[in-house]
Structure 1
Amino acid sequence: MRVGYARVSTAEQKTGLQTDALTGAGCERIFEETASGAQRDRPELMKALEFLREGDVLVVWKLDRLARSLRQLIETVEDMQTRGIGFISITEGIDTTSAGGKLVFHIFGALAEFEREMIQERTKAGLKAAKGRGQRLGRPAAMTDTQIKMARSMKAAGDLSAAQIAEQLGVSRATLYRHL
């Protein structure tokens, strides 16, 4: 069975163009939704995915109707494939029920994985370069060296409790103890 999913982002938009194409593609049931593609929680998409059975095919008018990011798209389609469900995107001509469609989709997946790895490499290189320039990485220190010296001298004087010293320095007791 071919099952369609149509989505528009705002109430002013209509799904007519998509539903016409989905009906023309042989969809017997169409789930329609008004929701941003960036939202992960889309009730009609969830209903459509739950409705699908092994051997069925989910059909969308365009890839961006199913997912906003390539990662989200790949995760959704891979989940369907493990359940024996095909996927068709009319506009892009992708059909995972055919060998050529599977190839195109796997190329998309490989490109997405490549992109993730490139981002990781650039991030690591940037952190290494910053560290090499002596830049301190991570969260800023809660206490300056001056505050630590003041705290030590206040504690040595013995006139104030740890809570009072922390309050005067504007830090928590835990932070004070960590630096002492």
Structure 2
Amino acid sequence: MSAILGYCRVSTTDQSLNLQRDALTTAGCFRIWEEVASGADKDRPQLQQLLDNLREGDVLAIWRLDRLGRNLGHLIDTVNLIETKGATLRSITEGIDTSTIGGRLTYNIFGSLAAFERDLVKERTMAGLAAARARGRIGGQPPKIDAAKARQITRMLHDGTPKTEIASVLGIGRATLYRHLSTLTP
């Protein structure tokens, strides 16, 4: 037997779940999971519990898409998970129902937009790296130990200065110093 299961979320305790709860109740939700958590927070126990309870034929109802996830990629992943369970998603405010042809079209448009966004970010990153390389920059953070510091380390080690003191004097972490020393040939 299939059921309509609801999920509502607010970001802070100052906000009220009443509007969402009322809309989900009117939509015929059998049970509603409620949560106070940021949309960006991936650790949402109530959402996870709801997803664990979804069965084939169930409908996960939400008031608005942004209640399920603020990030489009995360939202797409969640809807994919819902579909692998044989369930569907219904967003009351946006009128999206993935059990209908129009709802599937809207969902696929969102999926295409997410892929487009990922490709744009990748393209911009690659262009930025290419421009930096053209200016002689290799990328990443500049080395913490330059040639002058490397010479100072060698002198201090030769003088018997403890490694902890060397790191402190040069303003570098001990792990950075040990990584540098591991690259030197004995």
When normalised by structure 2's length, the TM-score is: 0.83
Which position in structure 1 is the counterpart of 2:136?
A: 134
Which position in structure 2 is the counterpart of 1:93?
A: 95
CA-atom RMSD in angstroms: 2.5
CA contact (8 A) 1:163 1:173 kept: no
Which position in structure 1 is the counterpart of 2:166?
A: 167
Alpha-carbon distance between aligned partners in 1 of 2:104 and 2:48, rounded to the nearest angstrom: 23
Alpha-carbon distance between aligned partners in 2 of 1:150 and 1:8, rounded to the nearest angstrom: 55
What is the CA distance between 1:6 and its match in structure 2? 1.2
What is the CA distance between 1:116 and its match in structure 2? 0.5
Q: 1:73 aligns with which of 72, 75, 80?
A: 75
Which position in structure 2 is the counterpart of 1:52?
A: 54
Identity among equivalent pairs (%): 46
CA contact (8 A) 2:57 2:87 kept: yes
Which position in structure 1 is the counterpart of 2:111?
A: 109
- The one-letter code matched in structure 1 to 2:180 is T
CA contact (8 A) 2:54 2:85 kept: no
What is the CA distance between 1:142 and its match in structure 2? 2.9
Once the two structures are superposed, residues 56-114 of structure 1 have per-residue CA deviations (whole angstroms, 9 ceiling, x without a partner) of 00000100111111111110010110110100001111100111111110110111011
Q: How many residues align?
A: 176
Once the two structures are superposed, residues 97-150 of structure 1 have per-residue CA deviations (whole angstroms, 9 ceiling, x without a partner) of 111111110110111011001101100100110110112421222322234455
SS of the aligned residue for 1:105 comes to helix
**Pairs within 5 Å for 1:26-65:** 26-65=28-67
What is the CA distance between 1:178 and its match in structure 2? 2.1
When normalised by structure 1's length, the TM-score is: 0.85
- Judged with a 3 Å threshold, the aligned counterparts in structure 2 of structure 1 residues 131 and 19 are, in CA distance, closer, same or farther, namely same
What stretches of structure 1 of length at least 5 have no aligned partner?
none
What stretches of structure 2 of length at least 5 have no aligned partner?
none
Alpha-carbon distance between aligned partners in 1 of 2:120 and 2:114, rounded to the nearest angstrom: 10
Alpha-carbon distance between aligned partners in 2 of 1:149 and 1:71, rounded to the nearest angstrom: 48
- Judged with a 3 Å threshold, the aligned counterparts in structure 2 of structure 1 residues 19 and 145 are, in CA distance, closer, same or farther, namely same
Alpha-carbon distance between aligned partners in 2 of 1:178 and 1:21, rounded to the nearest angstrom: 63
- The one-letter code matched in structure 2 to 1:40 is K
CA contact (8 A) 2:9 2:34 kept: yes
1:178 and 2:183 aligned:
yes
CA contact (8 A) 1:162 1:173 kept: no
